[in-house]
Structure 1
Amino acid sequence: MSEKLFLWNVRGINTSDKHNNFRRWLSTHHISLGALLETHIKEPSLPSILNSLCPNWSFATNHLSDPGGRIILIWKPHLNVTIIHQSRQSMTCRVDSLSTDALYFTAVYAANTDEERNDLWIELLDIQSSFFLENQPWLVGGDFNEITHPA
């Protein structure tokens, strides 16, 4: 897949002053697909905020699994994105484009506790086996809330 994508822990993107910078960044980098993590956008505000951030883009959220909407996937209309799994800690989709083979994409915003993060790893293994992703292009990324090298 030759599309550009991103994962970004935005730590809240409700304020309009952040919107201009974000739109400029999307345009400058020719992004087609992305995941916004830790947005703190309430579900009723989603359409207006996302229309300001990325007009005419499609989106999906994990509000059904977490009222805080921890993960928002956004994509340009030329992509066909099908959400195949969502939970409080991840969203997985299949991305189809006219010019390339399918790609599977999982955006992660992991919980803060070890116990819940362990559930995430089990969930990812279940996704892999349920959707036969062993031999498919599958990108998993995001904020795993893990410290790999303490200061």
Structure 2
Amino acid sequence: MNFLIWNSRGIGALSFPALIRELKSNYRLDFLAVLETRCSSDVSQSRVRQLGFPNMELIDCEGYSGGIWCFWEHSITSVSVIERHHQFTHLQVTGSASCTWMLTVVYASPTSIPRWALWDNLSHLAPSIRGPWLLGGDFNGTLLFCERRSFATF
């Protein structure tokens, strides 16, 4: 199965739907998560219909911050939403070979205090998981101080 988690930094460009369809075709994507959508729910409803995926789970952004969109093909037998949070969506995925595993897609707040809440929530999820777990996304963290655009306290 082919999965892609992408921080789009906004889906406002008119070329966005064509780009997603091209990525889907070229890489035979079974699952796509788009992070930091930065669009209102009325815009998102018109955009998602143009992307060519039969299944979806959307977490709208708050204002123009955040947003997590998950799309998947019929090649994935089922996706069940276990928990929704404005900084993550926690899913149970069953592939065509009946293999079941957990997937958590994250878009962490760029500010530290809400990000602490994210880590607290994720630490409460961890003990309940039995089996494979993929945790991926944009954690809005840096490893090195020189990687930061701002030198404010994180």
TM-score normalized by the length of structure 1? 0.86
Given the alignment of the two structures, is residue 14 of structure 1 paired with residue 12 of structure 2, yes or no? Answer: yes
What per-residue deviation string (whole Å, max 9, x for no partner) do you get for residues 18-65 of structure 1? 221221111111111121000123212223211212x242111123x8
Aligned length: 144
What CA RMSD, in Å, does the superposition of the two structures yield over aligned residues? 1.8
Given the alignment of the two structures, is residue 29 of structure 1 paired with residue 24 of structure 2, yes or no? Answer: no
Q: Percent identity over the alignment? A: 26
**Matches of 2:29 and 2:53 in 1, distance apart?**
14
Q: Which amino acid aligns with 2:136?
A: G
Please name the residue that 1:62 is paired with. Answer: 59
**Matches of 1:47 and 1:112 in 2, distance apart?**
25
Given the alignment of the two structures, is residue 71 of structure 1 paired with residue 49 of structure 2, yes or no? Answer: no
Question: Is residue 14–residue 49 contact of structure 1 (8 Å, CA) maintained in 2?
Answer: no
Q: Which amino acid aligns with 2:137?
A: G
Please name the residue that 2:43 is paired with. Answer: 45
Q: Which amino acid aligns with 1:77?
A: H
Partner SS state of residue 21, structure 2: helix
What per-residue deviation string (whole Å, max 9, x for no partner) do you get for residues 123-149 of structure 1? 0111223xx21x311101111111112
Q: Which protein has greater RCO, CA pairs closer than 8 Å, 6+ apart?
A: 1
Unaligned runs of 5+ in 2: 147-154
**Matches of 2:57 and 2:38 in 1, distance apart?**
15
Q: Alignment partner for residue 83 of structure 2, among 85, 89, 106?
A: 85
What per-residue deviation string (whole Å, max 9, x for no partner) do you get for residues 61-87 of structure 1? 123x84656111111133211111111
Given the alignment of the two structures, is residue 145 of structure 1 paired with residue 140 of structure 2, yes or no? Answer: yes
Unaligned runs of 5+ in 1: none
**Matches of 1:56 and 1:91 in 2, distance apart?**
18
Q: Residues 85, 66 of structure 1: CA spacing in aligned structure 2 closer, same or farther, 3 A cutoff?
A: farther
